Amino acid sequence: MNPKRFITLCCVLTLLLVESAVSFAVTDAPVLTVTPGEIDFGVMRDTDTTVRSIALYSKGKVTWRIRWVEPWLSLDSYSGLVEDGMQFITITASPRTLPLGQYQTEIVIATSSGTRTVPISVTVLRGSDAIPEPELEQIFLVPQSVAAQVGRKIQLGVVGMYSDGSEKDITGEVEWVSDNDAVGYFLEKDGLLVGKSTGTVGIFAKKDRVTSPVITIPVGALSGPFLKASIPRVVLDHIEKGSMETLSLSLRNAGEGDLEWEVISLTPWLIIEGESPGSGLGAVPDLEDYLSENGTPDVDEAGYGRLRGMGPKELNIIIDTTGVPDGEHEGVLSVRSNGGDERIIVPITVLSLTSISLIPVSVTMAVHDRILLRATGIWSDGCRTDLSSGSDGRWTISDESMGYFLRRSPVFIASKAGQVTIKRERGTVSSNVAIVAIEEAPVAPVLFVSPHEVDFGTIGPGEISKGDIVLRNVGGAGLTWQVYGVGDWFCTGGEDLSGSPGRAERRLHIRIESVEEDAVFGGGLFPVRISLGTGRHTVSYEKYLATGSYREELRLLFNGGERSVFLNFVVAETISRSRMVIEPLGIDFGYVSAEGTLAQKIELKNEAEKVLRWGVTVQGGRKSFRGVALPEKGRYISFANEALAGKARYRVPKRLTGKAEFSGEWTENDGYPSSILDDATVRYAFWGSGITLQAWKGPYGGIAEVFVDGRPAGEVDLASGSRERVEFTAAKNLFENDSHLLVIRVTGGVMELEGVRVYSSDLITNQKGWITISPERGTTTNEVDFITVTVTPEGLSRGSYTENIVFYSDEGIETVNVSLDVVEDKHAELIQIYRYIRGTDIRLAAEGPGEELLLRGYRKDAPLFKLFRKGTSGTSEFFQWYNPSKSASFYSYDRSGGKRSLEGYLFNGSIGNIATLKLPHTRDLYRWFNPRTAAYGYTVDPKGEDYQDQGYRYDGVAGYVR
């Protein structure tokens, strides 16, 4: 035995004998002991190589994995399992690539019983007999012999032989060369050869001046399983050091037969869930024999973990950044199978939180008041994120009796007078201190009124205009208020209007109308009525006015003083022009399956008595309409929760769970969120290149401060004399592969929020046929017209769809954004079948991996019907035959073809399952035959589409489909 290892072993055994008497008797939980606690390689020449060992001793069963080591350190094992015993890890230090100086690092060992770290240190000096870098002398391909198939990928490797006798895997460092790209070609520098067509191809690899021997690879026709491996496109450019992320690796079989596979992690921080660390054992013990029989190359990849299995599978790949230093890294997964190979690169950027900035740093407030604190995290790459809410940290209050934070919200509420300091902490990082001085609340009542001026616009004979003002007590004593009057207007009805608002707001409704259609007294005077109301109680004032602009003072008295609100309006001699009002201006169908139909109605109103003539159309590819520029199409997301309408308190709908977060007090208004207090906050996470928000202005509207990714985007003034919709562009030109955060903070009033519109190049904006409108034109006077918008997602591929509906009249245009997300069919047993046409041949096939090679030269037609998955009760496989001499395809669930001759036809297998009996919700699939061309056609149309006109004759029912 190595003397150093023997000494280490003795030390470990001595240590364990002591520990076993003390700690092991206390607990039965698995325990892993690592010794020595640190390793000092001492002074090393840059030409030296030194070896040390780490001993792992376990009581119980403990799995372990090395998360990260510096490149100048190499280990003989990176993962394993220790069970009531000892295991050694040999560490070799080769500082050849390090500059002179002192270095400190650590080896991080993640175990099932906790994380262990072993500090490593070394001092590097220049060697007196400097040895030059070994030179590459020969390179060899691994394996030396292999066969390929059209469409499949096979993994090839390269081993380099150096002048000092060492060997190294240089698969990713060489230039791969194919002498016939028409037969087989390489994907970049990963050593994956793709078969393109049948034939033979010579391949070799070269680096600098060294070239490998040429090997000849035969490429045959595709048969058997066909591996499709993929990870969703996710940008992991902000992973916090020491955290975990999970990706989904999808393994699919696009061919025939049983797919057997093996997934190998070639990077220590990539963990395959369910793997057998260090054992190399998995679910299919005879995989090597199977792969060998099917010609898959046997590249030796030790890896840091592997998992084997068969058939389609969704695997979880865990990214564990424990011990991984800050910066950009690339992980590699190797997938080997009897249906081809894949090499998947997983790039990540690891960041550490360096500091937290907290604002405001000093503030004065009253007891029971609230303030919003904002914590901004600053990361090691200089980027900033909002860490104010949720699980992004914790609030520390120097004296918790002085106040508290709302749950999962950055809103601090003062409990008593005094001074308190507040910090935001995340892990070991703390923010600067915010000093909060709390004063006793004013003892006098204080009436808050908003807005102080309301614009009601132009009012013609018989017309009405409405608005609201908000009343609230912001003082420390009880308050009562009373309407004193409107200037010198005469009170014509009702009662004294008064109330006692608390800290929650109360609304005073205002209605101004021009009572009659004709002027009176011959002097051009019009009777105008102002009505004020709070719920059931109202009071009215009247006055005769000439045409013109007016600014009338509404006086409110309370037991602490007086407030004035000014009412602005214009009296007109004639009725106003017709005015088209559309509600809603956005429709969000949410997540839908690719089947059936959905419908929603749009209300069209005319807010005048003049006849309104209108029309409606789909924007499609138009950039403008009637000389008016049309808006950019975005994905409309509504914040409405229809289930809450009339239930007072607002909650985020399920479809937005995990994306939207509302803090503060929010009520609902027809299902939409409406803030109550002026410290309400909204956070919405999204992916895209830009975002706008939609809200309603009103007499009680406040100020909305908008932030995107922690940066101020501006303020939205929501105050207006009448209720009107406003759209605010919060961000443009964002990096759309990043996750972004929209934050809306309401101050000084109320916000009624409708939703947002997200922009992205991934949106499907000009797809035809999925949206219809009825009716497309009409006239409206005083009634309300309803326009039905119907969407038919059946046949649409997965993705986000959006379209604008354009309403137009002589008075202008309005656009309504319609959006939906098509997800996979909720009926997992269904397969969408398309019709493909080449000459007289008509083929039926699903859209997906593996079909491209079989359908080259065919024109894809519309989706035709849906078949069932294999194993569905009441169904049989629907087989395909092809006659190359007649260029004709034939389909039947009878393996013998029924009564039809299949002479000259080649059997191509099953395309899915078809019902042989009339199942619920199924349709007849009709077969047609052309005796002149010997071609077959298939349709679900009982009238046969136009087959009869093309010389086809009816040939019976092929089965029943969805």
Average pLDDT, the chain: 81
pLDDT per position as a tens digit, 836-854? 888 888 999 887 544 554 6
Residue with structure tokens 């990714």?
A: 709
Would you state the pLDDT for residue 279? 37
What would the mean pLDDT of 698-726 be, rounded to a whole number?
A: 82
pLDDT at 715: 85
- List pLDDT tens digits, range 889-923: 999 998 888 778 888 888 878 888 998 877 767 88
Amino acid present at 676: I
Cα torsion 232, 238, 242, 244 to 10°: value is -20
Alpha helix positions (H), 179-276: none
Alpha-carbon gap, residue 708 to 170, rounded angstroms: 44
The tokens describing 104, both together, are 């400190």
**CA–CA distance from 859 to each of 535, 843, 853 (Å)?**
66, 10, 13
Distance, CA of 132 to CA of 115 (rounded, Å) = 39
Distance in angstroms (rounded) separating the CA atoms of residues 633 and 620? 10
The amino acid at 582: I
Average pLDDT estimate for 102-124: 83
Q: How far apart are CA 717 and CA 720, in angstroms?
A: 8
Give, for 289, the enclosing helix (H) or strand (E).
helix 287-293
What integer pLDDT is reported at residue 850 of this predicted model?
44
**pLDDT over threshold 60, residue 879:** yes
Distance, CA of 253 to chain centre: 26
pLDDT band for position 826 (cuts 50, 70, 90): very low
pLDDT at residue 277 above 70?
Answer: no
pLDDT tens digits along 581-626 = 888 888 888 888 777 778 888 888 876 667 778 889 888 888 777 7
Q: Is the pLDDT of residue 201 over 80?
A: yes
Whether 676 contacts 652, CB under 8 Å:
no
**Residue 284: is its pLDDT beyond 80?**
no
pLDDT tens digits, one per residue of 205-256: 998 889 999 999 999 888 888 888 888 766 677 888 888 888 888 898 888 8
Using pLDDT thresholds of 50, 70 and 90, give the confidence band for residue 132.
low
Residue 535: pLDDT band with limits 50, 70, 90:
low
Give the rounded distance of the alpha carbon of 123 from its chain centre: 48
pLDDT of 830 reads 80
Predicted local confidence at residue 938, as pLDDT = 94
**Residue range 321-373, pLDDT digits in tens:** 887 888 888 888 889 898 888 888 888 888 889 999 998 888 888 887 778 88
For 938-951, what is each residue's pLDDT tens digit?
999 888 888 988 99
Pairing of strands 453-459, 561-571: parallel
**Phi–psi pair at 504, nearest 5 degrees:** -80, 150
Do the beta carbons of residue 60 and residue 27 sit within 8 Å?
Answer: no
Q: Which helix (H) or strand (E) is 287 found in, with range?
A: helix 287-293
Report in angstroms the alpha-carbon separations of 365 from 418, 439, 681: 10, 6, 19
CB 357 within 8 A of CB 378: yes
In this structure, what token pair is assigned to residue 53?
A: 């060992």
Mean pLDDT of 820-832: 68
By the 8 A CB rule, do 270 and 333 touch? Answer: yes
DSSP per-residue codes, 896-911: T-TTS--TTPEEEEEE
Cβ-count burial 676-688 (b if 16+ within 10 Å, e if not): bbbbbbbbbebbb
Per-residue model confidence (pLDDT) at position 2? 47
pLDDT tops 50 at residue 294? no
Q: How far apart are CA 650 and CA 668, in angstroms?
A: 5
- pLDDT at res. 534: 77
- CA–CA gap between residue 730 and residue 709 (Å, rounded): 11
Q: Which percentage of the chain shows pLDDT scores above 70?
A: 86
Break the chain down into helix, strand, coil percent, rounded to 5.
Answer: 5, 55, 40
Neighbours of 56 (CB within 10 A): 22
What is the spatial distance between Cα 332 and Cα 343, in angstroms, rounded to a whole number? 7
Q: How many CB atoms lie within 10 A of CB 458?
A: 15
Which pLDDT score is estimated for 1? 45
Strand partners for 506? 471
The structure tokens listed for 327 are 């910066």
C-alpha 21/C-alpha 457 separation (Å) is: 89
Containing 15, the helix (H) or strand (E) segment is helix 3-22
Question: Tokens in use for 277?
Answer: 């660390």
CA torsion angle 849 854 856 861 (round to 10) = -70
Q: What angle do CA 320, 349, 231 make, to 5 degrees?
A: 65
pTM for the predicted model, two decimal places: 0.44
User: Residue 925, CB half-sphere, CA atoms under 13 Å: how many?
Assistant: 25
* One-letter amino acid of 68: W
Asked if residue 285 has pLDDT above 60, the reply is no
CA 180/CA 198 separation, integer angstroms: 11
d(CA 723, CA 543): 25
Which amino acid belongs to residue 213?
P
Which tokens go with 885?
């001499």
Residue 521 has pLDDT above 60, yes or no: no
Residue 51 in this model has a pLDDT that exceeds 90: no
Cα–Cα distance, 872 to 828 (Å, whole number): 10
